[in-house]
Amino acid sequence: MQFDVIFTPEALTLYWDGLLGTLELLIACIVVGGTLSIPLAIMRVSQSAWVRGPVWLFTYIVRGTPLLIQVYIIYYGIAQLDWIQARWDTTWPWIGFKDAFFCAVLAFSLNTCAYTVELLAGAIRDTNAGEVEAAQAMGLSRLQILRRIVLPSAMRRTLPAYSNEVIMMLHSTSLASTVPAVFDITGAARSIYSDFYLPFEAFITAGVIYLALTFTLVGFFKLAENHWLAYLRPQKH
């Protein structure tokens, strides 16, 4: 074991840069994917097949294919098309495909969005009918019921399952290094492995960093659940 190499300034700098890259990618895809999932989840529970059908197809395709394949399709496929490259410098949103990080964020965001849509749609369906009926009796419109009753309740009840999705997305960011110019924790470990030929030490250190991030996320979501799901706990009289 030569863990002393890991604690050199050069190696620590690589891991720090990889950590920042991982966190940047994770936060970006969670924000983008989470934002997109809310309107799509509402469409997913629509009574109209024309509205819910395209969303079902999107979630079915994304959840039915490996994330690595999705990354390859977006970066090595769509981004390399001639008609998109011809618009790299002139037309939005094709400008973004010029950036490898944008392609990675897009792939990861669409992936987490698909899973979050199904989680949130299931919670919307399980909303207590009595709450909706009470809101209707008070004269609230369908939009007001959705905004004030259904969505807040569904988002709270989705929190435990969504925490698992965020943790899985953290682990999935290890695939980002397959895209050139995207540097994450796994990419840092690969660099140290190639420089010093220390595969065990390099990837064990990367695993420890991922483990520390996982424990941090678990603690954060535990605090969030204790705060927003306190009303679901049995009350002591």
pLDDT tens digits, one per residue of 32-85: 999 999 999 999 998 899 999 999 999 999 999 999 999 999 888 888 888 787
Flag whether pLDDT at 234 surpasses 70: no
Distance, CA of 212 to CA of 15 (rounded, Å): 13
Residue 15 and residue 202 in contact, taking contact as beta carbons nearer than 8 Å: no
| Span 157-204, pLDDT tens digits | 898 899 999 999 999 998 888 888 888 999 999 988 888 887 888 899
Does residue 237 surpass a pLDDT of 60?
no
pLDDT at 110: 95
Question: Which residue would you say has higher pLDDT here, 234 or 131?
Answer: 131
The predicted structure's pLDDT at residue 227: 77
pLDDT digits (tens, 9 = 90+) for 104-150: 999 999 999 999 999 999 999 988 888 888 888 888 888 888 888 88
Interval 218-232 mean pLDDT: 82
Domains defined along the chain, listed by start: 3-232 (1.10.3720.10)
Q: Can you tell me the distance from the alpha carbon of 72 to that of 236, in angstroms, rounded to the nearest whole number?
A: 53
**What is the SS3 string spanning 181-219?**
CCCCHHHHHHHHHHHHCCHHHHHHHHHHHHHHHHHHHHH
State how far the Cα of 229 lies from the Cα of 198, in Å rounded to an integer: 46
Cβ contact 117:41 at 8 Å: yes
